[in-house]
Amino acid sequence: MRLGIFGGSFDPVHTGHLILAEQCREAMRLDEVWFMPTATAPHKQQQNPANVQQRCEMLRLAVYGNSAFTVSTLEVDRGGVSYTVDTLSEIAASYDHAELFFLMGADSLRELPTWRQPEQILALATPVVVRRGGEPEPDFSPLAAFCSAERLQEIKNAQVPMPLIDISSTTIRRDCSLGHTIRYRVPRAVEQYISTHELYRSP
C-alpha cells in the first residue's frame, strides 16, 4: 500500500488542503491519504482556535465521500507535542507493508533539517513536496546531509505541481471573526459546522 500522510492543525480544513491531497494522491499513485491533525494547534490565543475535537469533526465532514481520504487521530490520541519522526515510526511499525509518503509544502521542506531526527524521517517516508504555481524550484540541497545521493534524487522526483490557490486557515478565521463569508473556501458541510458552533468569532 502506498500511504500518504498529511499533517497539520487544519484550523479549519479548507478547499486548498483537499486539492493538495488529491493532487498528491493522483501524482504519486497513493492508495490512501491520512489527514493527521496535530494535538495542539499552534495559534495565538487571540485568534480563537477551534478545539481538537472540533478540528477533527470538520476534517471528517470535509473528507466524507472520498474513500481514499481518512482522518487519523494518532497524534491527537497521543496528546501533547508530536514529532513527525515518532508518528512515522509508529505507522511504519503498525503497517510494515505500507510505503510511506509525507505530504508537505516547500516552506516545510526548508525547515525539515531542523526537525527531530531528519535522517530517520527521510528513511521512513518520502517527502512529497508540493510546488505551487509560480514558485521557484524548491532547494533540496539541505537534505543532502541526511540521506544518500540516490535517496535525494528520489525525493526530488516526488515533487507535485499544484495550482496557485490563495486560501489559508488564518484568513478564514479572520473573516469569520469579522462576519464575512467563507463560502466556497471551505466545504459546505464545514461552513455549516463553523456557523452552527459559532467558531472563530471575536469575543
Please tell me the number of Cα atoms within 13 Å of 34 on its side-chain side.
19
Q: Report whether 189 contacts 61 (CB < 8 A).
A: yes
Q: What is the pLDDT of residues 137-159, one digit of tens each?
A: 889 999 999 999 999 999 999 99
Q: What is the pLDDT of residues 116-141, one digit of tens each?
A: 999 999 999 999 999 877 778 889 99
Which domain range does residue 162 map to? 2-166
The three cell numbers of residue 66 are: 472520498
Cα(175)–Cα(201) distance, integer angstroms: 9
Residue 190: the pLDDT is: 98
pLDDT bin (cut points 50, 70, 90) of residue 43 is: very low
Residue that is written with C-alpha cell 526530488 in the block: 156
pTM of the model: 0.93
Residue 187 in any domain: the answer is no
Q: What is the pLDDT of residues 1-35, one digit of tens each?
A: 999 999 999 999 999 999 999 999 999 999 999 99
Higher pLDDT among residues 203 and 94, named by residue: 94
Residue 24 in any domain: the answer is yes
Residue 47: the pLDDT is: 63
Residue 42 in any domain: the answer is yes
Residues 101/104/106/107 CA torsion (nearest 10 deg) = -140
Q: Report whether 41 contacts 52 (CB < 8 A).
A: yes
Residue 23 in any domain: the answer is yes
Residue 160 in any domain: the answer is yes
Q: What is the pLDDT of residues 161-192, one digit of tens each?
A: 988 788 999 999 999 999 999 999 999 999 99
Q: Tell me the average pLDDT across 57-73.
A: 98
Residue 183 in any domain: the answer is no
Bridge partners, 85 (sequence order): none
Residues 43/55/190/25 CA torsion (nearest 10 deg) = 100
CATH number of the domain within which 103 lies:
3.40.50.620
Residue 40: the pLDDT is: 74
Q: What is the pLDDT of residues 45-61, one digit of tens each?
A: 446 789 999 999 999 99
Q: Report whether 86 contacts 94 (CB < 8 A).
A: no
Residue 82: the pLDDT is: 85
Cα(171)–Cα(166) distance, integer angstroms: 10
Residue 93 in any domain: the answer is yes
What kind and span of H or E run contains 101? Answer: strand 99-105
- Cα distance between the two ends of the chain: 46
Q: How many domains does the chain have?
A: 1
Q: Report whether 100 contacts 28 (CB < 8 A).
A: no
Residue 189 in any domain: the answer is no
The three cell numbers of residue 112 are: 525539515
> What are the respective helix, strand and coil percentages of the chain, to the nearest 5?
45, 20, 35
**Phi and psi, residue 44, nearest 5°:** -70, 150
Residue 39: the pLDDT is: 87
